[in-house]
Amino acid sequence: MPKKILLDIDPGVVDALAFCVAMFDSAVDVVAVTSVGGNVPAPVAARNLQALIEFIDPPRFPRIGMGTAADIDLPIDFRNLYGESGLGGVLLPVAELRMQHPAEKVICDTIRSDPENVMIVCLGPLTNIARAFIRDPALPNFVRHIYISGGAVSARGNITPCAEFNIYADPIAAKTVLDAPCTKTIVPLDVTYHLVLTLDDVDKLAGTDNPAGQLYRGMLLPVFRAYRQHYGIEGIYVHDLITYMTATRPEYIETEEIPCDIETSGTITRGVTVFDRRDKPEWKNNIEVVTTLNDAELIIPNIINLLNSTAEKISKNNH
């Protein structure tokens, strides 16, 4: 039976691809999707989510919630990598909704309507989830599981020397979620750094004669150029896509329960995930950490297959 998931994303190219995969993935039933500011500001993320849904036109629309800006300033965004639109320069047409449902309300309503059956997959900062938990303090008791794309155990950071972006973007929200009494798994940079999307992988995607193939390439190719220019890398890290795959296919992962806390206010340590790995930890275990990817060489090919399956279904819809 497909897993019921609520997808919280900040599209952004990689999150947009994860959304495309999820909406036609037979392994899941996407009951709700919420946008959150992160890779792009919250209004851009909200617009991109609505535009992607209109483009994909899935057979069954999930509940949609739009996030607003975090209460904490975000001193950086990634439009230098992902373009002003956040989608690599692709600008999808959209009839913007006048009435937008707040993300935290959609999260609360979705979990409350089907308690203990909905898994939350968080691919951006944790602003929306924290706000939902503050709005409804008992809500964590009814969440089946939360998967979080973020953090670093011993890997280098990807936004500061030691902090990962999703946690850094709203560390107070991340700590709120970390402290909540529900089952949580974090997928850190330590494992997601090992997989990179290459131009050879893009060549295996649907071609430009397919509407989704046009979208994939239109989003990805400018990001390859930006990664080469800014990082000197011939490829793209796809941390959030890997998190989606491991959350929906747990056979890919090995986990270990490790006590964790988050630095919320340090000048050079904002957003650092601190794990108590002493021989005799003094902190209580509060999160499962993905430590190993099983059959890692299959994850990117399976992502390509899922994207192509989505492209085929979108093409049929357009005809």
- Which amino acids are annotated catalytic? 239
Are the beta carbons of 129 and 173 closer than 8 angstroms? yes
Contacts by residues 138-141 (CB-CB < 8 Å, ≥ 24 positions apart): 139/107, 139/108, 139/111, 139/112, 140/180, 140/181, 140/182, 141/181, 141/182
- For residue 145, which amino acid is it? H
Spatial contact of 192 and 281, defined as CB atoms under 8 Å apart: no
Dihedrals phi, psi of 252, to nearest 5 degrees: -75, -15
Could you give the dihedral angle defined by the CA atoms of residues 118, 119, 123 and 129, in that order, rounded to the nearest 10 degrees? Answer: 60
Beta-bridge mates of residue 4: 29, 118
